[in-house]
Structure 1
């Protein structure tokens, strides 16, 4: 067998430069041997030196890879001066200080334009807001009807947004000139999902609504009442789990940070419910089996821990999506073990946390 550590440094460098921009690839490359790891470190330091000005201006984004427990800095100028939301398709949705909205594939750097923020209704509520404040507070969630990399029948995916001061719904597709509002008599939504060819939304009181988008004026219709024992001050998420539509209740307590005179919310527990379409009722799910859920500033999604054994089964991974938590130095994120009703926090260094764009989950795809 060849001794890979004895390859000339020039050849190792050429191989490293052809790696796809995917954290796992870099991690596996660096683990081959010391000489390969040394070449990769030298290459990364050269990239950072060349892009030092861009780094200082926000063109570098940090990605934490849960499978390797490592943090990667990645040059992504398309995401500069933007806030991002994650998806399970490998795409991000970005909203910039220029008020433009894009679908962005961070590994290929492909961008797809969507109508800009000024094309939403109810602009008068935000007339006095600066762009940075708009980026922090105007949008709550986004959901896609399909993977933008695989357009069905030549059509671009439909994108639904929760937006505005009292959380309205709106829809648009790439190529549209404006966002179309959904039934402005309904508001206060917390999450949305595309499930079995329909959009569903959950309101702040746990009411499930089905969204009809194939009409001139999209509308929302009450579909199911919330479970009897939910806590109305919780946050609600919609997620598909093994072919079922589920709702997750996230409860939290307000915490006063006395030394800094700051206030934040801290998650205390989660409850998962499965929806029965025949009876239109919810039933509590006490065990996720070999699955894990990912909630936060992203489209909620589930993965099989049999396919991804580096993740913990029967757990909920969550990031901070509290609307009042834009402070540096604290981020309510961790792993909730359903069986033991226990939270294992995970934090990054203070300089890795941005009060402008909160941490998000997304599933990388090449």
Structure 2
């Protein structure tokens, strides 16, 4: 029997009333905890009881994971399709698909359409789907969504298991047939019979999406940003912002090719501009806190250089703001960016320090292996972070 299986059996024994295990020596519990490699096992061992939590080291290894996709499933003529074969990887290596810590996904759902709020959006077929679900890897909970053809991404306004009643909304982007990066937006609430289409982006792949104070912010690769009021149904688009003019006011000549990302952080709505230089490599990231209700955004007076204990994580559509207090393994006041463009992939993870302006390029976890790196076919796609209930004080 493996060590991990032994720990899991012990925890099941505790849950069944085997009170004798509560008196295990603290040094033995710490030794067992130190031997566990998976973050999920570290979480589980600390959830057994107060004694086990006090006797084991803090979750220094807890971190968001990179969702990687295998490029043999990608469509070379589209930049908005969901990923097929996918797996979770640690940003700095030490893991490969065979060491994936999550339990197997439900059978027959090979396509991943996003990682919203600690869930994986999975579907069985792109053009003729019969199932589209939200799946939570730790609890294995499933929530069905209405099917939608050629769905590319799914976003959630809140955690379905934590939101009271039906006060959450799913938003899906659908690939426009025949368009390379064109997408449509659809909205759905648990009380609705099906998806309601709201808007088309014929030339704009979605780069960042975030929710804040009842509004939905979506930024695209063609430098537009739309703000929707979710209090109406279907949601009402309040305004569309063209970001070229605010950027030109800040920079007569851009330092690189700008890509916008909307991110909600610490009860604030932020705009992150990632600049690409030669060979489309990331060279700079800037964070702004604009006045979203102003007639015209001013990015010259609202630059943010200190996020406190927070760092921002940017992927394909999904964006996260995480605190270094809850995730001791991450660096504070940084922008973490995964290279999710299906045509580039010169990088794995880029970390930009907002305080020092230093930029660190984290290589592919297999870069040090012969024949490793991106040649293995595994390409960074987005970020995944476990649901908040697993990261609260009871787990930490």
- The TM-score bracket by the shorter chain reads 0.5 to 0.7
For residues 41-94 of structure 1, give each alpha carbon's deviation from its aligned partner in whole angstroms, at most 9, with x where no partner exists: xxxxxxxxxxxxxxxxxx99643456996664233132752225223x321222
Task: Tell me the equivalent position of 2:140.
Answer: 109
Taking the aligned partners of 1:30 and 1:267, their CA distance within structure 2 comes to 46
SS of the residue corresponding to residue 170 of structure 1 reads strand
Correspondence for 1:76 among 98, 104, 114: 104
Query: Which of 1 and 2 has higher RCO (CA within 8 Å, sep 6+)?
Result: 2
Taking the aligned partners of 1:301 and 1:39, their CA distance within structure 2 comes to 24
Task: Tell me the equivalent position of 1:16.
Answer: 8
Change over 3 Å in CA distance of 1:205–1:32 after alignment to 2: same
Correspondence for 1:202 among 219, 240, 264: 219
Task: Tell me the equivalent position of 1:361.
Answer: 383
SS of the residue corresponding to residue 7 of structure 2 reads helix
TM-score, length-scaled by structure 1: 0.67
Taking the aligned partners of 2:87 and 2:201, their CA distance within structure 1 comes to 40
Change over 3 Å in CA distance of 1:10–1:348 after alignment to 2: closer
Taking the aligned partners of 2:341 and 2:229, their CA distance within structure 1 comes to 28
2:168 aligned with 1:157? yes
Taking the aligned partners of 2:202 and 2:36, their CA distance within structure 1 comes to 57
Taking the aligned partners of 1:312 and 1:67, their CA distance within structure 2 comes to 13
- Pairing 1:75-224 to 2, within 5 Å after superposition: 75-78=103-106, 81-87=110-116, 89-97=117-125, 99=129, 100-118=131-149, 139=152, 141-152=153-164, 154-155=165-166, 157-164=168-175, 165=179, 166-174=182-190, 176-184=192-200, 188=204, 189-213=206-230, 215=232, 217-224=234-241
Taking the aligned partners of 1:61 and 1:31, their CA distance within structure 2 comes to 34
For residues 249-277 of structure 1, give each alpha carbon's deviation from its aligned partner in whole angstroms, at most 9, with x where no partner exists: 1122463xxxxxxxxx4322211111224
For residues 157-180 of structure 1, give each alpha carbon's deviation from its aligned partner in whole angstroms, at most 9, with x where no partner exists: 211123323122211235755322
Stretches of structure 2 that go unaligned for 5 or more consecutive residues are 13-26, 39-83, 367-371, 391-396
- Checking the alignment, whether the CA contact within 8 Å between 2:207 and 2:316 is kept in structure 1 is no
Correspondence for 1:304 among 317, 323, 347: 323
Taking the aligned partners of 1:353 and 1:94, their CA distance within structure 2 comes to 26
2:281 aligned with 1:266? yes
For residues 223-243 of structure 1, give each alpha carbon's deviation from its aligned partner in whole angstroms, at most 9, with x where no partner exists: 545323375942211111222
Taking the aligned partners of 2:241 and 2:4, their CA distance within structure 1 comes to 59
Taking the aligned partners of 2:257 and 2:36, their CA distance within structure 1 comes to 51
2:291 aligned with 1:276? yes
Taking the aligned partners of 2:144 and 2:376, their CA distance within structure 1 comes to 25
Change over 3 Å in CA distance of 1:115–1:357 after alignment to 2: farther
Deviation at 1:144, TM superposition (A): 1.1
For residues 179-203 of structure 1, give each alpha carbon's deviation from its aligned partner in whole angstroms, at most 9, with x where no partner exists: 2211348862432221101112224
SS of the residue corresponding to residue 15 of structure 1 reads helix
